[in-house]
Amino acid sequence: MFKIVLDAGHGRNTPGKRCLKSLDPAETREWVLNARICDKVERLLADYSGYELLRVDDRTGAADVALKKRTDAANRWGADLYLSVHHNAGLGGRNGGGPEVYVYTSPSAKTVEYQKIIHDCFVARVGKFGNRANEMPRKNLHVCRETHMPSVLIECGFMDSPGDVPLILSEEFADKASQGLVDALVKIGALKAREEEKVEVKFEDIGGHYAEKQIREVFEMGIMNGVDETHFNPNEPVTRAQAAIIARNVVRYITGK
């Protein structure tokens, strides 16, 4: 299993982390933008297998989880990749912006490889925008320095750029950004689409049954098996043990865990 740590940066009420008011009267908080993309990444990953996922931020945004607590959790878990999602600032309303994909100042070869894949997949989905001279910089950032696995921090755009703000606030951008990150995770982790794992249904006792379609679907989804390769016994009762297995398989199908 490829173990992915996903990190929506900051908390909902972290001071200063918001869009510039003159460009966004609602002053949308950075955590809202970060978490929206991370949540979409999780949902898209449910269509794949071969991974485990750990969120190290507070999903509610109520707390800005300390950076050390985040990286310690990733290290204890033995992650294969740490991906931190952020949105940038620093232009003060001036023109410019664009994405930046950071790694540590002295990264491993694998980290550099992952950085380029994440950058390229992200840009392939959202398109080129901004004026960054170097979209793949290196910097002494805690989550990149203190992790024991390849760690990449992506700044998806600038919250104080006249060009970036309308873009990063849009749902369409979040959809494209999350799909780009998932494209990268699929490539890096060699994840497989669940539909590729479908096994032909050969049950001899479901033809014409009122639940034939549903039986085929739950079998292909990996939620229920037959009693053997050719029999499902569609009219037999389910035991408590079997119900527990089915419930666990449903959770695994939805979450990928």
Ramachandran category for residue 119: left, alpha or beta (phi over 0 → left; psi -120 to 50 → alpha): alpha
Give residue 222's pLDDT: 85
Structure tokens at 246: 């089915």
Give residue 40's pLDDT: 97
Low-confidence stretches of the chain (pLDDT beneath 70)? 195-200, 256-257
Give residue 37's pLDDT: 98
Give residue 199's pLDDT: 57
CA-based max dimension of the chain: 69
Give residue 235's pLDDT: 92
Give residue 229's pLDDT: 82
Give residue 198's pLDDT: 52
Cα 154 from Cα 20, distance rounded (Å): 20
Cβ contacts of 162 within 8 Å, gap of 6 or more: 23, 93, 95
Handedness of CA 16, 24, 157, 185 (dihedral sign): positive
